Amino acid sequence: MKSRRPLHLKTILMILIMVIAGPLGNVLLAKGMKQVGKVAFWPPSGLLHVTLRVFRSTSVWLGVASLLTFFVANMMVLTWADYSYVLPAGSVAYAVIALLAYFMLGERVTLLHWIGIAIICVGVFTVGRTSPRTVDR
C-alpha cells in the first residue's frame, strides 16, 4: 500500500494545479477579450486592429500562460493516472470557475448553478476515494 501513496499525492498535486490553472487561464482570457472589445471580421483592417489589441493584452498573455500550465500538468498526470480518474477529479474546477467568474468578472452565479456544482463536487469526492491507477503500465 505504501507504493501507491506517492502516486496518489503527486496525482492530487497535479490535479490541483489543473483545477486552478485551467479556470484561471480561461477567466483571464475572458477578461482580456472583454477589454479588447467586439471582434469584427469585416473589413479585414478591423480584424487586424483587433488582433493587435489582443496581442498587447496582458490578461490574454497571462491566460495563455495559465492554460499552458494546465496543459502540461494534464499531460503529466495522464502518464501515471487513469483518464477515468483524472477527468472526473478535475471537474472540481467547475467550483473554481464559478468563484473566479463571480469575483474577477463580476458575473452573477445563481443558486441553481451552485446546486449543480455541489452535485458535481460530490461526484468528484466519490471518484477521489478510488485508486488513481487501475492498470499496470
Report pLDDT digits (tens) over 61-117. 999 999 999 999 999 999 988 888 898 888 889 999 999 999 999 999 999 999 999
Q: Is residue 135 part of a domain?
A: no
Q: Is residue 94 part of a domain?
A: yes
Q: Is residue 108 part of a domain?
A: yes
Do you find a cis peptide bond into 132, omega within 30 degrees of 0?
no
Q: Is residue 33 part of a domain?
A: yes
Q: Is residue 134 part of a domain?
A: no
Q: Is residue 14 part of a domain?
A: yes
What pLDDT sits at residue 137? Answer: 60
Exposed / middle / buried, residue 37 (Cβ in 10 Å: 0-12, 13-18, 19+)? exposed
Q: Is residue 72 part of a domain?
A: yes
State the average pLDDT for the chain: 88
Query: How many structural domains are present in the chain?
Result: 1
What separation in angstroms does the CA of 4 have from each of 74, 83, 89, 116?
19, 17, 17, 32
Range of the domain at 10: 4-128
Q: Is residue 133 part of a domain?
A: no
Q: CB of 41 within 8 A of CB of 86?
A: no
Cell of 12: 492530487
